[in-house]
Amino acid sequence: MRRLVVPFLALLLGTAACDSGTTGPNLTVSATGTAIGVAFVDRNGNGILDPTDSPAPGIRVVLTPRGGSQVVTSGVTNSVGLYILPNVPAGSYRISVDSATLGDSLQVARIDTADITVGNRDTVRTTIAFAFPSVSTAQVRLMTAGRKVQVMGIALNGWATFGDSTIAVADAGGTIRATRVAAVNVAAGDSVRIAGTTGTRDGQPVITAASATVLASGRALPAAPTLTTAAAATAGGGHYDAALVQVARGTILSGVVNSAGDLDLSVDDGSGLLHVVLTARAFNNGVYTAGAQLAATGVLVPAAGGQTWVLRPRADADLQVSFLSVTVATARTLPVGRQVQIVGLALNGWATFGDSTVHVLDATGALRSVRVLPASLFAGDSIKLVGTIASRDGQTILSSVAATVLAAGRTLPDPAVVTTAVASAARGGKDDAAVVKIVGGAIKDTLTLPNGDYRLHVDDGSGLLEVILDRDLGLRLTPFLPGVVVDLTGVLIPKTGGASWQLKPRSAQDTNIH
């Protein structure tokens, strides 16, 4: 019906111009004309009747003599906001509106021609624009449901940000959420006019069935206060409902995809749990994993039921992800699944063994990283590893790892010299993933494995140690014959089952044949 207002008015104005005053040859009629017009709710505030506006039915339009107060005639707008005042005696008049018919939801915004002059057989056309009362966000929160209002403020998010046609708006007095907002190109920081009906959702006041008009683009957003996760989860007792806030730092405990397809993160900074909900299509969800440290900015929206609030960031730029930085020794005490960051020295290059494993050493020990993303790193590089605590063959490892080189070519410490028996047990597991050296071990047997690696058993008189010469090292088995005495350096890796360890040299320089 709304889109029919303009064409219907044109049709009616055209026909009404032909209806005023028909006279016969023997009939004398006083000079009269017609006042006709349309009343509409100017939802976008531009003062012009257009398809975004809606009709204003049931409004009494009054005609009084200019300079006088006696009502000459009046009429009530119909369902599409049209009114016709026929048989108006020629003269000068003022058009006004009977305020009693406006109720508390409308006010006159503009009458394009309040003072009119009607001549004989004239049709005078007028439009009357109404607007909802302008109120503050604080006033909206005190109103009963069903009031028509308009609020002007700064949009805290774009219309399409959350995929649910909601816009949070801030003014000097606070914030309010507009829901069921008609599609509009609004971005965060735009100065907007929101027009709609007061209501509630999940226990909090809102403006619903709303329309938004951009008044100016790119205004400065209000400063976002910093809250704890517990305070954000209650919106500070509701004080920060619909507000833009930030949480300085919390640990992601878990993340699940909810029924809407959004990623729901459980975050805690030690004060209590907060749900941070990321709209699926807007975020790089792969980095928001358990164990990560998250600093987040977003709009606080009440959860279903209205007892708690969720934080809704607007884009990746609202989030800063880091990871719990731990030592190797601490990493070995953490539960499987925890995501951490370790800084240390690489004991081998990413391509050394051809299986994307990298051993890292810090002051507290060594750790093996597996499934390391391709990286140009070499033994001796200072590196940062970000990955997930896992277990393999009875030992703690770091899995699904992203590696960053911090500095190249640092000096590695000299490896500990151990017996073959001690190496085979990794010193009771204390040397798992570490680099060690054996001296004067005799080769007992050799075997070419199905994958092309060479397996040796070596004994310095203390016990057997299994040695794997990786085919990617470019070594040949020919020099490594039973009875040959060798010095070997390499990383210690637990054998399948975890009962003993094997030594893996990293290059030809790790081998010395006597």
Show the domains of the chain with their CATH numbers. Answer: 2-22+29-131 (2.60.40.10), 137-216 (2.40.50.140), 226-324 (2.40.50.140), 326-407 (2.40.50.140), 416-513 (2.40.50.140)
Is 275 within 8 Å of 321 (Cβ atoms)?
no
Q: What is the spatial distance between Cα 66 and Cα 63, in angstroms, rounded to a whole number?
A: 9
Res 15 pLDDT > 70: no
Q: How confident is the model at residue 26 (pLDDT cuts 50, 70, 90)?
A: very low
Residue pLDDT, tens place only, 376-426: 999 999 999 999 999 999 999 999 999 999 999 999 999 999 999 999 999
The position carrying tokens 């398809």 is 51
Average pLDDT over residues 145-157: 95
Is 483 within 8 Å of 441 (Cβ atoms)?
no
Q: What is the spatial distance between Cα 104 and Cα 59, in angstroms, rounded to a whole number?
A: 13
Res 29 pLDDT > 90: no
pLDDT at 285: 64
The pLDDT mean for the chain works out to 91
Pick 88 or 102 by higher pLDDT.
88
Average pLDDT over residues 314-327: 91
Q: What is the spatial distance between Cα 98 and Cα 93, in angstroms, rounded to a whole number?
A: 15
Q: What is the dihedral of CA 344, 345, 347, 351, to 10 degrees?
A: 90
Measure CA of the first residue to CA of the last residue in the chain; give whole Å. 98
Is 271 within 8 Å of 228 (Cβ atoms)?
yes
User: Own/partner pairs for 108-115, CB < 8 Å, 24+ apart?
Assistant: 109/42, 109/45, 109/47, 110/42, 110/47, 112/47, 115/66
SS (H, E, C) 392-418: ECCEEEEEEEEEEEEECCCCCCCCEEC
Residue pLDDT, tens place only, 31-44: 999 999 999 998 87
pTM: 0.66
Residue pLDDT, tens place only, 168-220: 999 999 999 999 999 999 999 999 999 999 999 999 999 999 999 999 999 99
| Listed range (77-86, 181-190, 280-289, 357-366) with the worst mean pLDDT | 280-289
| Listed range (18-27, 55-64, 225-234, 318-327) with the worst mean pLDDT | 18-27
Q: How confident is the model at residue 54 (pLDDT cuts 50, 70, 90)?
A: confident
Is 127 within 8 Å of 61 (Cβ atoms)?
no
pLDDT at 286: 67
Residue pLDDT, tens place only, 100-147: 998 877 889 899 999 999 999 999 999 999 988 999 999 999 999 999
Q: What is the DSSP string of 215-260?
A: EES-PPPPPPPEE-HHHHHTTTTTTTTT-EEEEEEEEEEEEEE-TT
Q: How confident is the model at residue 477 (pLDDT cuts 50, 70, 90)?
A: confident
The fraction of the chain above a pLDDT of 90, given in percent, is 79
Pick 252 or 5 by higher pLDDT.
252
Closest CA to 124 of 8, 6, 11, 17: 17
Is 125 within 8 Å of 20 (Cβ atoms)?
no
Is 363 within 8 Å of 327 (Cβ atoms)?
yes
Q: How confident is the model at residue 505 (pLDDT cuts 50, 70, 90)?
A: very high
Residue pLDDT, tens place only, 265-285: 999 999 999 999 999 777 776
